[in-house]
Chain A
């Protein structure tokens, strides 16, 4: 899976979490707090974690190849 697909997924997850957080702030109700803590924040954090993971696991095409990788390729 390429980085753009991962970014797209992360973007949608973060956006979904933020939308829930936004909606939870409109009414003054105990269940709104539950929606924020139980759904909005976790969904957003999963999206953020997915984004960070995709950055860490992504290898730039121009990145130098390590000797071990080069040996494996030959």
Chain B
């Protein structure tokens, strides 16, 4: 629905701007000047805002992320039939929305997190189309995975707060919450995408 509205808005803005371009003489009348103002300033600004919102929404989808060839293998790892793989267990159990599986874990949840993630994504797109992309097995996360992304959902949940593994030492949970102990690189939850395991892996298929 939002997509249709955005397309209609941009099409309408285009038609009006083109009309003003073809009939610039309308600016001789007061009504024509108002129409020019709406067609060349107000509507385009609204249209670009709508277009950006739509693009941002679409750029958050799993389908979008997996368009790049090197990401295809990472998409397959979401279907590992093994609970030790963190992305697979999140995807298969619907701990993350399946249509935004990549973005849910690879987005910064700070104030401008969405925009920061998109800028970072643009660099990946640049490498994909204008650079030399690495082999999927050689691709590593560019900065340590932040605990805040995990805590965004898990903090306060009963399983997270009470599971024995989070109380191996008295202050373990506090250290995790303070990001002094990494969730993913402290030998705890460090089996992530592991695309190198794909060739020997078993895959889970959702029952119809």
Contact = CB atoms under 8 A, between A and B. Distances in A.
Partners in one complex: yes
Interface of A: 3-5, 7-12, 14-15, 17-19, 21-22, 24-25, 28-34, 36-37, 40-41, 44-45, 47-48, 51-52
Given A11-B20, A25-B55, A30-B59, 7 more contacts: A7-B21, A12-B17, A18-B13, A28-B58, A30-B67, A30-B129, A45-B48
B11 interface: yes
B150 interface: no
Given A4-B24, A11-B20, A25 B44 contact: no
Contact of B122 (A4, A29, A34, A41): A34
A29 B64 CA distance: 6
Interface stretch (B34-42, B76-84, B196-204): B34-42
Contacts of B61: 28
Given A25-B10, A30-B64, A11 B47 contact: no
A45 B13 CA distance: 13
Contacts of B27: 3-4, 7
B14 A18 contact: yes
Q: Is the interface of B mostly helix, strand, loop or mixed?
A: helix
Contact of A19 (B14, B41, B59, B68): B14
B55 A44 contact: no
Contacts of A30: 59, 64, 67-68, 121, 125, 128-129
Interface of B: 3, 6-7, 10-11, 13-14, 17-22, 24-25, 27, 36, 39-41, 44-45, 47-48, 51-52, 54-55, 58-59, 61, 63-64, 67-68, 121-122, 125, 128-129
A48 B41 contact: yes
Contacts of B63: 28
A41 B24 contact: no
Contact of A31 (B20, B21, B45, B129): B129
Contact of B51 (A4, A11, A21, A45): A21
